[in-house]
């Protein structure tokens, strides 16, 4: 027992280590999938991260916007060295006006899907210099007259705070030989894939050795969800094996979610399967009726039909005898007062139909005497009937006569229903009845019915497990 516990403990630790590893891989997958949409956030808040991860996604600064910001940096250095009013600064401002016009016309932001950023830059520049044209706004802004009039420091601070971040966020993304954007995430993902592949091979070998009747393919399918950790596409599907592993490793309890998933799947299939099975059974029964199989069964004599008796007992006769004994010995004594009341009432009704009965009721004392006579008569009748039935059960001769009566009744009943007209009518009625059952009950089976059945089944299983644990 201690060896088994040690093995289970070691196995649990292995499952937890692999579950944590798979979770870390899934986090990297989601980070990679979200990197491009969230790059602006990373660029603003975690610039070091973008410098490290941009090469993985094939991202590099766009040369046009990079050239533009480098020109602004050279202008700032030149103003510091020679002042704003100088030939060198004038030449650099002219260069920036040309680069601004080129940026507006060529839109280097389109390749990264950031055309909206360019529109935001143009709008801010229009508002700053009060110009309707974006090109005119940049031409005015990058001029010695405007900058000296409004103050160099104030205007360059505006540019660095409102314009530069939008330009700096722009980038160019390389395209691979397959026509898709370059993505080298496989370099990070490869060690995980190799690890999961080795693990899957080991688990497959262990499963094959434990269940030798399985083929290698079946042994691999035993852990089908682990295959999702190996495929290089649709990597977000790895959430399935990671969830399963976390649950198996008892790191996270997904019982409620798993129960709801199972119930949803069962509810979807159970409704259709139930309808299919029941309707198929009814259709087969209807087919038997239409083919006349029931008719042939009824018309066959006892000598022709082969019937297998497993205990040499006529179950119909035995059940009938048991029911009669229960009725006579247990039921009738309990309901005798009610039977007496019904008989007494019936006798009074019959007496009221006699001529002159109303006159007799007028005679003093006779009305009360008539009621007593009716009660005594009803009691006597029920006692006689009960005594007769009791004696029939105890008397062998009466029991034999009762058996003959049952046999005669069965023979006569069978003989009458074997008449062609009766059989045809029975077949028609049975067929219509089964069709009504399908319409009114089977096809009305709803999702709520299935959910209720599943809930009752789960409750019954829970109660059964609780009672079993209490007994143990």
- pLDDT by residue (tens digit) across 305-334? 455 556 666 665 667 667 777 776 777 677
pTM for the model stands at 0.57
Q: Name residues whose C-beta falls within 8 Å of residue 412's C-beta, 6 or more positions apart in sequence.
A: none
Q: What is the rounded distance in angstroms from the CA atom of residue 27 to the CA atom of residue 35?
A: 12
Where residue 227 falls among pLDDT bands split at 50, 70, 90? very high
Pairing mode, strands 171-173 and 59-61: antiparallel
pLDDT of residue 64: 94
Where residue 278 falls among pLDDT bands split at 50, 70, 90? low
Distance between first and last Cα of the chain: 19
Q: What is the rounded distance in angstroms from the CA atom of residue 371 to the CA atom of residue 352?
A: 12
Q: What is the rounded distance in angstroms from the CA atom of residue 446 to the CA atom of residue 436?
A: 17
- Map tokens 């103003």 to a residue: 79
Q: Is the pLDDT at 413 greater than 70, yes or no?
A: no
Comparing C-alpha atoms, which of 242, 79, 225 is closest to residue 152?
Answer: 79
Residue-wise pLDDT for 183-215, tens only, equals 999 999 999 999 999 999 999 999 888 888 888
pLDDT of residue 353: 63
For residue 54, the SS3 value is: coil
Higher-confidence residue of 312 and 88: namely 88
Where residue 251 falls among pLDDT bands split at 50, 70, 90? confident
For residue 132, the SS3 value is: coil
Checking 366-370 for CB contacts under 8 A at 24+ apart, the result is: none
Q: What is the rounded distance in angstroms from the CA atom of residue 438 to the CA atom of residue 286?
A: 11
- The DSSP bridge partners found for residue 60 are 172
Residues 431, 437 contacting (CB under 8 angstroms): no
Q: Is the pLDDT at 424 greater than 60, yes or no?
A: yes
Q: What is the rounded distance in angstroms from the CA atom of residue 157 to the CA atom of residue 161?
A: 6
Q: What is the rounded distance in angstroms from the CA atom of residue 419 to the CA atom of residue 26?
A: 76
- Which DSSP category does 177 fall into? T
Give mean pLDDT, residues 66-81. 95
Q: Is the pLDDT at 83 greater than 70, yes or no?
A: yes
* Other beta carbons within 10 Å of 22: 25
Residues 417, 298 contacting (CB under 8 angstroms): yes
Where residue 97 falls among pLDDT bands split at 50, 70, 90? very high
pLDDT of residue 436: 72
Residue-wise pLDDT for 235-246, tens only, equals 999 999 999 899
Residue-wise pLDDT for 375-410, tens only, equals 776 677 777 676 666 666 666 766 676 677 766 766
Mean pLDDT of the chain, nearest integer:
79
Residue-wise pLDDT for 429-468, tens only, equals 777 777 776 666 555 554 445 556 666 666 666 666 565 5
pLDDT of residue 304: 44
Burial of 229 (0-12, 13-18, 19+ CB in 10 A): buried
pLDDT of residue 419: 59
Give mean pLDDT, residues 13-26. 93
Percent share of the chain, pLDDT over 70? 61
Q: How many residues in the chain? A: 472
Q: What is the rounded distance in angstroms from the CA atom of residue 175 to the CA atom of residue 371?
A: 111
- The DSSP bridge partners found for residue 173 are 59
Instruction: Look at 126-130, 142-146, 287-291 and tell me which has the smallest mean pLDDT.
Output: 287-291
Q: Name residues whose C-beta falls within 8 Å of residue 200's C-beta, 6 or more positions apart in sequence.
A: 220, 223, 226, 227, 229, 230
Give mean pLDDT, residues 128-147. 94
Q: What is the rounded distance in angstroms from the CA atom of residue 146 to the CA atom of residue 129?
A: 9
């Amino acid at each position: 027992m201690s060896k088994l516990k040690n093995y289970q403990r070691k196995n649990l630790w292995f499952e937890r280590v692999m579950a944590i590893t798979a979770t870390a891989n899934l986090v990297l997958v989601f980070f990679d999938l979200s990197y491009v949409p969230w790059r602006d956030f990373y660029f603003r808040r975690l610039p070091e991260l973008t410098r490290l991860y941009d090469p993985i996604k094939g991202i590099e600064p766009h040369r046009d916007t990079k050239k533009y910001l480098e020109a602004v940096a050279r202008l700032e250095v030149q103003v510091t060295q020679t002042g704003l009013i100088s030939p060198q600064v004038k030449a650099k401002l002219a260069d920036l006006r040309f680069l601004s016009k080129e940026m507006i016309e060529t839109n280097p932001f389109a390749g990264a899907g950031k055309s909206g950023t360019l529109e935001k830059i143009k709008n801010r520049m229009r508002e700053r210099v009060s110009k309707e044209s974006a090109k005119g706004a940049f031409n005015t802004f990058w001029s010695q007259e405007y900058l000296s009039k409004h103050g160099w420091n104030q205007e360059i601070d505006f540019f660095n705070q409102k314009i530069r971040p939008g330009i700096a966020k722009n980038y160019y993304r390389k395209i691979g030989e397959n026509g898709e954007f370059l993505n080298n995430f496989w370099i990070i993902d490869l060690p995980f894939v190799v690890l999961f592949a080795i693990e899957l091979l080991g688990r497959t070998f262990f499963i094959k050795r434990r269940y030798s009747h399985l083929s290698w393919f079946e042994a691999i399918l035993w852990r089908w969800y682990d295959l999702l950790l190996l495929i290089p596409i649709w990597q977000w599907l790895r959430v399935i094996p990671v969830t399963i592993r976390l649950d198996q490793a008892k790191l996270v309890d997904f019982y409620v979610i798993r129960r709801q998933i199972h119930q949803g799947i069962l509810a979807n299939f159970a409704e259709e399967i139930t309808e299919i099975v029941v309707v198929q059974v009814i259709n087969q029964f209807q087919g038997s009726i239409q083919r006349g199989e029931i008719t042939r069964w009824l018309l066959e004599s006892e000598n022709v039909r082969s019937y297998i008796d497993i205990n040499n007992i006529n179950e119909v006769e035995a059940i009938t005898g048991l029911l009669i004994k229960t009725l006579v010995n247990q039921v009738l004594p309990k309901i005798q007062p009610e039977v007496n009341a019904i008989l007494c009432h019936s006798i009074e009704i019959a007496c009221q139909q006699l001529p002159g009965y109303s006159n007799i009721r007028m005679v003093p004392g006779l009305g009360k005497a008539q009621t007593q006579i009716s009660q005594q008569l009803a009691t006597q009748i029920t006692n006689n009937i009960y005594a007769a039935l009791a004696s029939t059960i105890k008397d062998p001769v009466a029991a034999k006569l009762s058996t003959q009566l049952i046999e005669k009744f069965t023979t006569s009943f069978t003989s009458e229903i074997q008449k062609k007209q009766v059989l045809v009518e029975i077949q028609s009625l049975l067929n219509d009845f089964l069709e009504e059952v399908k319409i009114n009950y089977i096809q009305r089976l709803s999702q709520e019915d299935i959910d209720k059945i599943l809930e009752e089944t789960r409750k019954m299983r829970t109660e059964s497990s609780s009672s079993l644990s209490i007994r143990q």
